[in-house]
Structure 1
Amino acid sequence: MKRYCINGTFLSEKRTGIHRFAEEIIKALDSLITLNQDFVLVVPKHTKIPFVLKNIPIIEYGFLKGIPWEQTFFALFALLHRRIPLNLCNVTPILVPNGYSVIHDISYKVNPQYFSHWYGLLSRKWHCLNYWVITHFAKHIFTVSHFSQNEIKNTYKVSSQRITVIYNGWQHMQSITPSNDYILNQLGLTKKNFFLSLSTIAPNKNLKWVLKAAQNNPDETFVIAGSLNPSRFGTDLDITNLKNVKFIGYISDEDFVLLAKNCKAFLFPSFYEGFGIPPLEAMSVGAPVIVSNIPVLKEIFEESAHYIDPQNYYVSLKDTTELLTKNKSDILSKYNWNDSAKSVLRCLKF
């Protein structure tokens, strides 16, 4: 019987959309596996686990964290215990490359213009190495959209049979209780009277579009949550001089649900994505979404979103009533963590 070890590096890091994917896939696998399907989740020592698993044992192993732990202790565990790695976050232990891995997108490969700063250059070299190793040695590759599947296939000459699409889901939003309304008062916000964006200052996220939209719509209020640390990307984007923009930094899931439920619309003007989970999460709690008209977002959201040109910074947002009429139920029914976990299980050998 084949035995697997799940790479839990991400659990020692600050949560991102990719980390959310990994967490939810593991929880779904835990609810689906049978007695003859042998998994363990391996994490660095002293890692705080934000969920409870009933069927997958959690093993703390090794004293490092992040990339050093993943490339040494996780690889060592897989080798010593003769387990096949399942890697959910774009990278693989180089010493044990013949596992199963998820590549969410290959932006580091196809968009070098986004990574010109020293941090981006280092990150790009590391991720491109992992893409190459995974596409050449992995037993099977998973990705999160047909757009990403085609990019991987065409860039690395990988056959379609070696790549399975497993979409993100949104069901985790159902278990999150929104924060109390007093947070709106603290931020000086009125229900249904502000636009919300969850972003970083990474160039592909196109924060410039939101800032220009705020500049061109001075009577509207914009709330931007997320990391805006320019030192990681070397950007000179000015994020300080707009009076109708509120930068609120990292927020909890509870705060996100409250803000998404009460925003006029959720803004997601990205130039490039592998899937685009934030607007799906916002849509799942009732927010209208405004997204870029890039191919991957059209694949994911079809007719349920309002599309904008991410290169056009002079869009009027005064009339958004049409957003409220978009049909979201059909699109939400397409995406389910359990369905994606079932696809993973069908590809693994036991």
Structure 2
Amino acid sequence: MHVGINAQLLSFGEGYRNGGVSRYIRFLLTELARKPGEHTYTVFVNGQQVIDHLKSLNIQHPQITFVSAPWPEEKPIQRILWEQMTLPTLVKRLQIDVLHSPVNVLPERLPRTCAGVVTLHDLAFLRFPEVLTRAKRIYHQTFTLRSLRRATRLICVSESTRRDAHELAGIPLEKSHTVYPCIDERFTAEYNEEKIQEFRRAHGLNDGYILYLGTLEPRKNITRVIEAYARLRETEHRKEKLVLAGGKGWLYDAIFAKIRELGLEEDVLFPGYVADEQQVYWYQAASVFVFPSLYEGFGIPVAEALACGTPVVTSNVSSLPEAGADLALCVDPQETEALSRAIMQGLTDQELRTKCRQQASQIYQRFSAQVMVERTLAVYEKAVQRSHSVSLQ
């Protein structure tokens, strides 16, 4: 097959754009560059600098060709116009058999000879529209829903997302396939107590810390984390700091207002965007990782933290129990007291901590890049078979 991949949202910047969906694209391309199989690939990216960065990371192969669009991904209007108006023409000219849009949206007018595969990351704009800006809601309601219905095949990043696609968007279950995102192999680094203590000292975290790592946005339920943390300090007299790491997304002012309201300015740290090479240290050195999101298509930070051997507290809703792999402590994200108790258990339960260390490698194998790409290629093949059978009718 000749596979096209619309990697317009691949970013190497230091901000929220280099978050979950960008990493999903990068890990997909990394594994395809290692094992492309019999197929050839044309990958559409934003800017020559992205191509240069990919090559500097040795994400390249003779069977993979990179094509650059003329503007960076932070200009969404231009990007949308390009993928809707120009990309279909390129697909036809290059005789692409299947176009994969790794982030929710296909071009409206694909050639009839080209199958369309969409990766659906979540349906937050339908489940929790209030946590998105108006522009994001309009974009998804305009493009994402239409793409899901037009796609030949749908990749869902969890069983929860697959059910949402069926229940909320009417997508037949036989048209969708669950393919979990992968964990980067750097999260398999061996735990080194001496290096961990050195890392804590360097960041003034000698008493340990409770970590959140992800975009700062309403859906992540961070104000609830702050309330639970305040309760721990008051009732249990815990000395650990709370570290809220990650780039600012949108509608995040309430986070800082809550910290001021509770007088926690000296106890809550914001290291900002965390570079890839630093993430494993932040996870491994954390006393407990907390991620009580209100809704996630998958929630890769949960799996990453578990792969690092760190106890995890997360939500019992949407896909997060899947990411937690029967090892994370799952609680109602709306219950501050339950969240506080679970964090306390993560801090003090030595049996749980030992179990997390022992099962870390199993978590990595469960969410490996090899498994993700093998299952993704199987979806491409099903899509092309379906497309060809329809065109012959």
> TM class, shorter-chain normalised?
0.7 to 0.9
Find the partner of 2:204 among 163, 188, 191: 188
Counterpart residue type for residue 100 of structure 2: L
CA distance in 2, matches of 1:336, 1:183: 27
State the Cα distance separating 1:76 from its structure 2 match.
3.4
Q: Please state which structure has a larger fraction of its residues in helix.
A: 2
Match of 2:121 in 1: 104
CA offsets per residue over residues 88-143 of structure 1, 9 Å max, x none? 1122223338511101111112211222xxxx111111112222222221111101
Does the 8 A contact of 1:147 with 1:274 survive in 2?
yes
Q: Distance in 2 between matches of 1:38 and 1:200?
A: 34
- Contact 1:226 / 1:249 at 8 angstroms: preserved in 2? yes
Q: Please list, as runs of the form range in 1=range in 2, the aligned pairs for 1:82-121 lying within 5 A after superposition.
A: 82-83=95-96, 84-96=98-110, 99-115=116-132, 120-121=133-134
Q: Take 1:175 and 1:78, find their aligned partners in 2: how far apart are those partners?
A: 38
**Residues in 2 aligned to 1:174 and 1:236: alpha-carbon distance in whole angstroms:** 32
Partner AA of 1:54 in structure 2: H
The structure-2 alpha-carbon separation of the partners of 1:129 and 1:197, relative to structure 1 and needing over 3 Å to count, comes to same
SS at match of 1:261: helix
CA offsets 1:25-55 (integer angstroms, 9 cap, x no match): 22222333234x1212122332323432224
2:348 matched residue in structure 1 = 321
Deviation at 1:188, TM superposition (A): 0.8
The whole-number CA distance in structure 2 between the counterparts of 1:307 and 1:45 is: 41
* Pairing partner for 2:231 from 194, 216, 233: 216
Matches for 1:154-165 after TM superposition, within 5 Å:
154-165=167-178
Alpha-carbon separation, structure 2, partners of 1:25 and 1:325: 32
Tell me the SS of whatever aligns to 1:272.
coil
Which amino acid is the alignment partner of residue 102 of structure 1? T
> Whole-Å Cα distance in 2 between the matches of residues 249 and 79 of structure 1?
42
Letter of the 1:112 partner, please give it. P
The secondary structure found in structure 2 opposite 1:6 is: strand
Which residue pairs with 1:153 in the alignment?
166
Map of 1:107-146 to 2, 5 A cutoff? 107-115=124-132, 120-146=133-159
Q: 1:175 to 1:54 in 2, by over 3 A?
A: farther
The farther-off stretch of 87-96 and 154-163 is 87-96
Deviation per residue, 1:53-92 (Å, 9 max, x gap): 2244232333123342333443432232232321111222
**Distance between the aligned counterparts of 2:252 and 2:272, measured in 1?**
19
Moved more, 291-300 or 322-331: 322-331
Alpha-carbon distance, 1:175 to partner:
7.5
Gaps in structure 2 of 5+ consecutive residues: 385-393
Match of 1:46?
48
Identity of aligned residues (%): 23
Q: What is the CA distance between 1:318 and its match in structure 2?
A: 4.0
- Tell me what 2:310 maps to: 287
1:64 matched to which residue of 2?
71
The structural deviation recorded for 1:177 is: 9.8
Unaligned runs of 5+ in 1: none
| Aligned pairs (5 A) from 1:171-320 | 171-174=184-187, 184-190=200-206, 193-218=208-233, 219=238, 220-228=240-248, 232-233=250-251, 235-237=253-255, 238=257, 239-240=259-260, 241-242=263-264, 243-314=266-337, 315-316=340-341, 317-319=343-345, 320=347
Task: Give the deviation of 1:244 after TM superposition.
Answer: 1.4
TM-score scaled to structure 2, two decimals?
A: 0.79
- Quick check: 2:211–2:289 contact (8 Å CA) kept in 1? yes
Asked whether the equivalents of residues 134 and 141 of structure 1 are also in contact (C-alpha less than 8 Å), the reply is no
Match for residue 367 of structure 2 among 331, 335, 350: 335
CA distance in 1, matches of 2:179, 2:328: 21
Tell me the secondary structure at the aligned position of residue 49 of structure 2. coil
Q: Structure 1 residues 185 and 106, CA, compared in 2 at 3 Å: closer, same or farther?
A: same
